[in-house]
Amino acid sequence: MKASFAFSNLCGTVYRQGNVILYDAPEGTLLLSPCGNRLSVFNLTNNTATTLPFEMRRPIRRIAQNPKQGDIILAIDEVGQALLVNARARVVLAHINFKAPVRDAAFSPDGRYIAITHGNRIQVWKTPNALARDFAPFVLHRIYTGHFADALCVRWTKDGRFFLSTSKDMTIRIYSLDPIALPSAPLGRYKPKSLGGHRDAIIAAYWSDDETEIYSVGRDGSCFTWRDKDEGDDDDEEDEDMEEYDFGEKDGATAEKDIASTSTEAPPAMATRRWGLASRNYLKKVSSTVVCSAFHAPTSLLVVGFSTGVFGLYTLPNVESLHTLSISSDKISSVCTSADGAWLGFGCSRLGQLLVWEWASESYILKQQGHFLDMNALCHSPDGQIIVTGGDDGKVKLWNVASGFCIATLSEHTAPITAVEFAKRGKVLFTASMDGTVRAWDLVRYRNFRTFTSPRPVQFGCLAVEASGEIICAGSGYGGDSFDIFMWSVQSGRLLDILSGHEGPVSSIAFSPTGSGMLASTSWDKSLKIWECFKGKAAVDSITLNADALAVAYRFDGAEICVATLDGQLAFFDPREGARQTGVLECRRDISPGRKLDDKVSARANAGGSHFNTLAYSADGSCILAGGNSNWVCLYNVQEKVLLKRWPLTHDSTLDGVTDRLDNRNLTEDGRHIDLVDDFAEDDEMTFAERADKSLPGGKRTDPTQRTTRAVARCKSLQFSPSGSIWAAASTQGLLIYSLEARNAAGMGGGAEAFDPIDLDMDLTPDNVRSAMNDGQSVTAIIGALRLGDQTLLAEVYEHVKPQDIPLVVQQMPLIHLPAVLRLVTRRMAPSTTTSKPIQEKEKALNGELVSARTTTTASGGSPHVEFHLLWLASILGIHGSTLRKSANSGNFAPILRSAASALQEISANVNRMAEDNLHLMLYLWGAMRESGQEIEAA
């Protein structure tokens, strides 16, 4: 079992806060969305979503894109710490701390400078060189002053020599990047222009396409147009203010030298232009304020987002309304436009919604939303292509692992979901909820075809499905006095039995994967019970534990059970020998949680209550994965009883339980942490009524957007995929997916073998490998490609082998390369889904999810040679079958063989589907020929 799992993707969270960006790239139209302290990239052309692997210490508040190099992104968090990243290469290029919250950031059109808002100032920095590694890559160019309140927006001109800024002080200021000599102006140089007239904060201002007009949008819905004043207008209001530059590290002599060096050049028209107010317009919306806006200069289209969830589309400068639509039940936090202005992107932070709207056809391109509250449970489908999650919001969501999109939402439950389980066969899903029902779902038609209830209302907290899929069990005990396990028949929906014996709430249950009918259950009464459900009267073996039992898991062969207890231990039992205990692991130090801001105890005392509450065995059964009310997920070797590796769920310091130590410098005079003190003046986007704490005393499931409620980093559920190549965790941040396969910049699984330089020599080159391939030395060519680790070369060599030579190649291949070749065959044989450009209509019965896209499935991942792959697989299984059966190697090949079985099932289903289609087509053609023949004879 490998422990080299790396972060692969983040699902379940599509948007948290900050601005979103739409732009065109070689691989399609991309949408950048901040997801907490991570950045996600949505490909709207290929319908894929991937999350960049870097993390920030706090949630991202602002992102900016380099217009010259679209892959260069600047991400800035809430306190001003920034990362410059390459989205295509998925690497961090540079980092800087601006030491103040940043409201807006914008690259110059040539990509040489970055302008950011820094309180009531504007800072311009030189863009770091992506090819050079500098000790201090960010160099401050100049600091621009003049605003009396926080600056909110920065916009550059096309030539990059001027930019404007807006502020809470209700003014617009126009600055030049460098000093410009103007003999007719006071002080002999260009002085920043000041435009005033708004009665509320100006959230944004934009240049017209020809830069002869400026459009400003106020928070109160005002939209003003500014133009050059007519000749003879004596209004010199802007000349009354003597604004100055703060030249940063440059002194006055250097500034005068800059002016002198440009004195021979003719001043630009922008420097001599005298701006004045041309027209006033107001966007009339009852009881709403403007929250965000975006402008598409070539078409003069203005998009405005209101606090009521309504957006308006207007043409400037006349401010004529083209379109108005309510897209959310809460305020729109961010809006953007595509390069051609046809698509509009929206983000709603309160609901976690992300939408892309095509305004001309009035249809959704993308509509995604994560769980409104925390995730409680997850489960992989038998083929590993879908992950199902259930949350506190009572919704069940299905996530496609390959694309990262939510494909369906099931919302019949009326209370939090506590457990989700797939049937081993067929596309049937079972869910348990605290509303007292267990529901069975048909995932072909996405409907609830069976509902199971108990004789008297109880709240179900756990669920188990028997291997045949005919029996399901659910445990109760939360919020009631019934601590029973209920057993139903799936076919009839009838209650078969009630398993009684626990004296506390049933925390977890699990059926044996072998189909023997053995059911393991744990409870808060410090007991583990093993039931034989298929006997006339269910027999039970009871084992007393040292502490309350919180989770139980079966190994894939049913020969071992693992139990997590409240004292931080993992206990292992053999159910075949009277539930004999075979080992124990002390794990408190491994899962020690971080400190909370309001902790009154020491770190050592805080670690005393750490424990696991979710377990999952690996596909080969050699390791077990455990998580709980902590920021850590731990992987243990069962045989050696050692910790192999542990992963942090997040580095977001705004969550409780992430940091190990508290900083006394952040404490106020009364001993409270500064982050726990409400500062209503910090962000004016929230009114006093919105900031008011409406949570109940003692309540833990409250609105996470309230400032008085701090989320805690924890893992509520985790599971390995059937193939064992990935594992997923339902955490506070969302659905985290960790994979053994490296993901490239486009978010596609690579699956490359580990590169080992020890296997290389001077003669091993791609040219020599191709020469051996052309000479018919297939074994030498494949081994050389495997050692080089070049997947393109390996695929070329693999498909160059003649079909009649496959058995000979497999027989001569060294056994050390057998896993890599089997993984290659499985990956090439696995079905892949390619998605065309999304059509403009919603998917039936999929409420609030991805817009339907026409998909076409081929029988091989990137290669149509189905028979060729099957010949390879048959030869490997026929020649090396005895090696695969050996127990010593079964753990290494189990995940690969599971993937191969899944690919074979999909190929079989595709062949059957194609045969049925061809049969109906042939019958139709035969009938048409007979009718045409009869007509000819009659003639």
What does the alpha-carbon distance between residue 10 and residue 739 come to, in Å, rounded to a whole number?
Answer: 12
What does the alpha-carbon distance between residue 211 and residue 189 come to, in Å, rounded to a whole number?
Answer: 22
Cβ(179)–Cβ(162) below 8 Å: no
879 alpha-carbon distance from chain centroid: 43
Beta bridge partners of residue 642, listed in sequence order: 637
- pLDDT-derived band at 801 (thresholds 50, 70, 90) equals confident
DSSP annotation string for 893-916: HHHHHHHHHHHHHHHHHHHHHHHH
In this structure, of 140-144, 205-209, 568-572, 849-853, the range with the lowest mean pLDDT score is 849-853
Cβ(536)–Cβ(563) below 8 Å: no
What does the alpha-carbon distance between residue 932 and residue 939 come to, in Å, rounded to a whole number?
Answer: 11
Residue 117 vs residues 73, 153, 158: alpha-carbon distances, Å: 17, 7, 20
Q: Tell me the domain boundaries of the chain.
A: 592-660+703-742, 802-923
The residue among 788 and 449 whose pLDDT is bigger is: 449
Phi and psi at residue 560, to the nearest 5°? -150, 145
In this structure, of 493-502, 591-600, 787-796, 835-844, the range with the lowest mean pLDDT score is 835-844
Q: Is 297 in a helix, a strand, or coil? A: helix
Residue 844 vs residues 439, 852, 853: alpha-carbon distances, Å: 21, 8, 12
Which pair of tokens denotes residue 202?
């100006």
**Upstream peptide bond of 704 is cis (omega within 30 degrees of 0):** no
Give 666's DSSP letter.
G
In the prediction, which pLDDT does 141 show?
A: 93
- pLDDT-derived band at 104 (thresholds 50, 70, 90) equals very high
Chain segment 409-445, per-residue pLDDT in tens: 998 998 999 999 999 877 899 999 998 899 999 988 8
Q: What's the mean per-residue pLDDT of the chain? A: 80
In the prediction, which pLDDT does 784 show?
A: 82
Side chain identity, residue 715: C
Residue 378: in which H helix or E strand, if any?
Answer: strand 375-380
Cβ(308)–Cβ(288) below 8 Å: yes
- Residue 291 pLDDT > 80: yes
Which pair of tokens denotes residue 76?
């800035």
Residue 47 vs residues 405, 416, 768, 868: alpha-carbon distances, Å: 8, 30, 39, 30
Residue 842 vs residues 346, 365, 386, 507: alpha-carbon distances, Å: 18, 9, 20, 40
In the prediction, which pLDDT does 131 show?
A: 66
What does the alpha-carbon distance between residue 563 and residue 584 come to, in Å, rounded to a whole number?
Answer: 9
Which residues neighbour 104 within 8 Å (Cβ) at sequence distance 6 or greater?
62, 116, 117, 151, 152, 153, 154
- pLDDT-derived band at 814 (thresholds 50, 70, 90) equals confident
Residue 926 vs residues 292, 913, 917, 918, 933: alpha-carbon distances, Å: 63, 20, 14, 12, 11
What does the alpha-carbon distance between residue 127 and residue 139 come to, in Å, rounded to a whole number?
Answer: 8
**Nearest to residue 346, comparing CAs of 393, 316, 313?**
313
**Nearest to residue 21, comparing CAs of 343, 329, 325, 316?**
343
The residue among 787 and 385 whose pLDDT is bigger is: 385
**Nearest to residue 734, comparing CAs of 438, 368, 336, 461?**
368
In the prediction, which pLDDT does 694 show?
A: 52
Place of tokens 């202005």: 341
DSSP annotation string for 179-242: --B-TTSGGGB---EEEE--SS-EEEEEE-TTSSEEEEEETTSEEEEEEEPPTT----GGGGS-
What does the alpha-carbon distance between residue 838 and residue 667 come to, in Å, rounded to a whole number?
Answer: 52
Which pair of tokens denotes residue 247?
């030249």
Average pLDDT over residues 810-830: 78
Which residues neighbour 722 within 8 Å (Cβ) at sequence distance 6 or greater?
380, 382, 383, 384, 619, 898, 902
- Residue 32 pLDDT > 90: yes
In this structure, of 121-125, 223-227, 463-467, 605-609, the range with the lowest mean pLDDT score is 605-609
Side chain identity, residue 53: P
Q: Is 243 in a helix, a strand, or coil? A: coil
Radius of gyration of the chain (CA): 32
Residue 303: half-sphere exposure toward Cβ, Cα within 13 Å: 25
What does the alpha-carbon distance between residue 734 and residue 711 come to, in Å, rounded to a whole number?
Answer: 12
| Most confidently predicted of 503-517, 767-781, 891-905 | 503-517
DSSP annotation string for 467-520: TTSSEEEEEE-TTSS---EEEEETTT--EEEEE---SS-EEEEEE-TTSS-EEE
Number of neighbours of residue 916 by Cβ within 10 angstroms: 10
- Residue 905 pLDDT > 90: no
Side chain identity, residue 754: A
The residue among 888 and 471 whose pLDDT is bigger is: 471
What does the alpha-carbon distance between residue 858 and residue 828 come to, in Å, rounded to a whole number?
Answer: 11
Which pair of tokens denotes residue 636?
């243990």
In the prediction, which pLDDT does 930 show?
A: 79
Chain segment 726-779, per-residue pLDDT in tens: 899 999 889 999 988 644 333 333 344 444 555 566 677 888 888 888 888 888
Burial class (CB in 10 A: 0-12, 13-18, 19+), 861: middle
Which pair of tokens denotes residue 249?
């590290």
Burial class (CB in 10 A: 0-12, 13-18, 19+), 373: middle
**Nearest to residue 290, comparing CAs of 347, 225, 222?**
222
The residue among 224 and 906 whose pLDDT is bigger is: 224
- pLDDT-derived band at 887 (thresholds 50, 70, 90) equals very low
Cβ(309)–Cβ(328) below 8 Å: yes
Question: For the stretch 231-251, what's the b/e string if a residue is b when 16 or more beta carbons lie within 10 angstroms of its beta carbon?
Answer: eeeeeeebeeeeeebebeebe
What does the alpha-carbon distance between residue 186 and residue 164 come to, in Å, rounded to a whole number?
Answer: 21
- Residue 229 pLDDT > 80: no
Which pair of tokens denotes residue 514?
């072998």
What does the alpha-carbon distance between residue 661 and residue 362 come to, in Å, rounded to a whole number?
Answer: 52
Cβ(695)–Cβ(684) below 8 Å: no
Cβ(482)–Cβ(455) below 8 Å: no
| Farthest CA pair distance, the chain | 106
> For 592-660+703-742, which CATH superfamily applies?
YVTN repeat-like/Quinoprotein amine dehydrogenase (2.130.10.10)
Question: For the stretch 776-798, what's the b/e string if a residue is b when 16 or more beta carbons lie within 10 angstroms of its beta carbon?
Answer: eebbbbbbbbbbbbbeebbbbbb
Number of neighbours of residue 630 by Cβ within 10 angstroms: 27
Are β-strands 539-544 and 549-554 bridged in parallel, bridged antiparallel, or unpaired?
A: unpaired
Which pair of tokens denotes residue 29?
């139209």
What does the alpha-carbon distance between residue 341 and residue 348 come to, in Å, rounded to a whole number?
Answer: 20
Cβ(203)–Cβ(293) below 8 Å: yes
Cβ(531)–Cβ(540) below 8 Å: yes
In this structure, of 231-245, 315-329, 491-505, 610-624, the range with the lowest mean pLDDT score is 231-245
Residue 429 vs residues 307, 420, 480, 845: alpha-carbon distances, Å: 38, 7, 26, 17
Sign of CA dihedral 173, 178, 179, 182: negative
Length of the chain: 939
